[in-house]
Amino acid sequence: MSEAKKARYADKRITKTLVALKAARLSLGLNRPQAAKKCSCTVRALEQLENGRCNYSEDRIKRLVSQMGMPWADFENLQRSPEKALAQIDAYNLERTLSRKPRRNLYKLVTKEVRAIRILRKRKGISQYQASALCGWRRCTIGLIEAGRTDLTESRIEHILRSLGYRQEDFKKIVRADIMADEVIAEIVSNLDLLDDQALLSAASVIKALTKTGVRHG
């Protein structure tokens, strides 16, 4: 190994922010290749970042956290005690599970029921961690359920609905629907953020026209 490379490896600085970043990734049920794909970076770049091998800015961390799918407020909560959060996730065993070829029962499976739970949580305006706390579970549990990494049994559904203040009918109405309107709206809003001013005006005109048509034929 060259002297320059030795020096780089010796200059390892794992900060609380980087520990929190790893905890965030694992709590979302992502291995490094999956997270790297979401973040549009290489696996090596993400590995070096988590291991304190390269510099980073707060803006970069915010971007990575957002691309992985975690609200910034949740990440800030992780940063307060990242080592504890990582211990609760059982990082070593989860990392091994996510990295090797999964057994059949470990494949990511996001069912319509899982999506309905996510919608109801978001309607409450609470994070995955807050929902887990209301259910009396570990911080990462709801995140793993919504990522399709943990089975969503009937008893769990009942417990989540009761803890979040919903009725079974609220849940069943979403599951029975032909489309999940909340997801469609969220996707539209996300795509709108990518448009320039002219395209936004055009999109607004189309939406207004569709709204009038919907009212007229409703």
Residue-level pLDDT at 216: 43
Residue 156 three-state SS: helix
The tens digit of pLDDT for each residue in 79-107 reads 888 888 777 765 445 555 555 554 434 44
The tens digit of pLDDT for each residue in 7-29 reads 443 445 788 999 999 989 888 88
The tens digit of pLDDT for each residue in 131-183 reads 999 999 988 899 889 888 788 889 999 999 999 999 999 999 999 988 888 88
Whether residue 157 contacts residue 117, with contact meaning beta carbons closer than 8 Å, is answered with: yes
pLDDT at residue 189 greater than cutoff 90: no
Q: Other C-beta atoms within 10 Å of 67: how many?
A: 15
Whether residue 14 contacts residue 51, with contact meaning beta carbons closer than 8 Å, is answered with: yes
- H/E segment holding residue 190: helix 181-192
CA angle 21, 23, 25 (to 5 degrees): 70
Whether residue 95 contacts residue 31, with contact meaning beta carbons closer than 8 Å, is answered with: yes
- H/E segment holding residue 192: helix 181-192
pTM above 0.85, yes or no: no
Give me the percent of the chain exceeding a pLDDT of 70.
82
pLDDT at residue 65 greater than cutoff 70: yes
DSSP 7-25: HHHH-----HHHHHHHHHH
CA distance 204 to 146: 32
